[in-house]
Amino acid sequence: MYFCILAYPHMTKLIFALFFFLVSFISQGQRKWVLEKTGNGINVYSSDVPGAAYKAVKVEASFTGTYSKLIAVLSDVSQFSKWIYHSKANSVVQKNSPLDFIYHTETVLPWPMSNRDVVIHMRINTDSLPKFITITGTSMPKRIAKKSGLVRVNHYSARWKVSMPTPQTISIYYELELNPAGNIPGWMANSFVSKGPFETFSNLAKKLKE
């Protein structure tokens, strides 16, 4: 088996692709999503995460927009605080390409809790155009030194699948798993599970019309 993989590297890619597809498929099949909030073409769901105190979030949204406009908005890190819920400061840490970059973001939490920060590697994959694009965001907690007064988020995993059912409409499927770290009780974090995503995607819809 090892000889075959080494002799045919293209088979290695195929095997890994099939493996991750199956893992993703099984994981989604086991999720029980509960609708938390709906409106303005946006549906926000939550689901328990096995072994974790915090819920996963799913957003299904459809509104006016295009691939190019969405990519432009997601690539403009310095403007994130204008549309992402409770986002305070954002900066690029490393830019591998216009569609592959690492950035640092700080999120405001109400007193007496400390603000959170996370380092995220975002990849925008356009290989499947014009059918769809995929986007992933994964945390890199050790990529830069921790900042005084902030609690570093160690686990952040987001994925998008975006299609265009019409020439001026985008359809978004988004999933997020996030552990806010620190001493925030799970029940308190989960109480905001619908508000943050709903506000963020509502603001995104407005940005896409600018």
Answer with the residue of higher pLDDT: 46 or 112: 46
Domain shared by 76 and 22, yes or no: no
Q: Is the pTM of this model over 0.85?
A: no
Q: Based on the domain organization, do 83 and 127 belong to the same domain?
A: yes
For residue 208, pLDDT beyond 80:
yes
- What is the C-alpha to C-alpha distance for residues 92 and 102, in angstroms, rounded to an integer? 6
Report the chain's terminal Cα–Cα distance, integer Å: 54
Is 72 found in the same domain as 24? no
Same domain, 25 and 112: no
β-partners of residue 87 are 107
- Same-domain check for residues 20 and 118: no
Higher pLDDT among residues 156 and 180, named by residue: 156
Domain that holds residue 3: 1-30
Q: Residue 183: give its domain's CATH number.
A: 3.30.530.20
Measured CA to CA in angstroms, residue 80 lies from 83, 166, 207 at distances of 6, 26, 11
Of the ranges 30-39, 122-131, 179-188, the best mean pLDDT one: 122-131
137 and 200 housed in the same domain: yes
- pLDDT higher than 50, residue 131: yes
Distance of CA 194 to the CA centre of its chain: 15
User: Are both 108 and 57 inside the same structural domain?
Assistant: yes
Distance CA 193, CA 186 (A): 11
- In this structure, are 22 and 101 located in the same domain? no
Amino acid 7: pLDDT: 43
- Evaluated on CA atoms 77, 109, 161, 138, the torsion sign reads positive
CA distances from 26 to 30, 31, 63, 95 (A): 6, 9, 29, 33
Task: Strands of 29-141 (E only): list them.
Answer: 34-39, 42-47, 56-64, 87-97, 100-107, 116-125, 133-139
Taking a C-beta distance cutoff of 8 angstroms, is the pair 41, 59 a contact?
Answer: no
Q: Taking all residues of the chain, what is their mean pLDDT, rounded to a whole number? A: 83
In the chain, how many domains are there? 2
Phi-psi region for residue 196, left (φ > 0), alpha (ψ -120 to 50) or beta?
Answer: alpha
109 and 66 belong to one structural domain: yes
37 and 20 both lie in a single domain: no
99 and 203 part of one domain: yes
pLDDT digits (tens, 9 = 90+) for 56-94: 999 999 999 999 999 999 999 999 999 999 899 999 999
Q: Is residue 54 located within the same domain as residue 92?
A: yes
User: How far is 134 from 126, CA to CA, in rounded Å?
Assistant: 7
Give the model's pLDDT for residue 16. 37
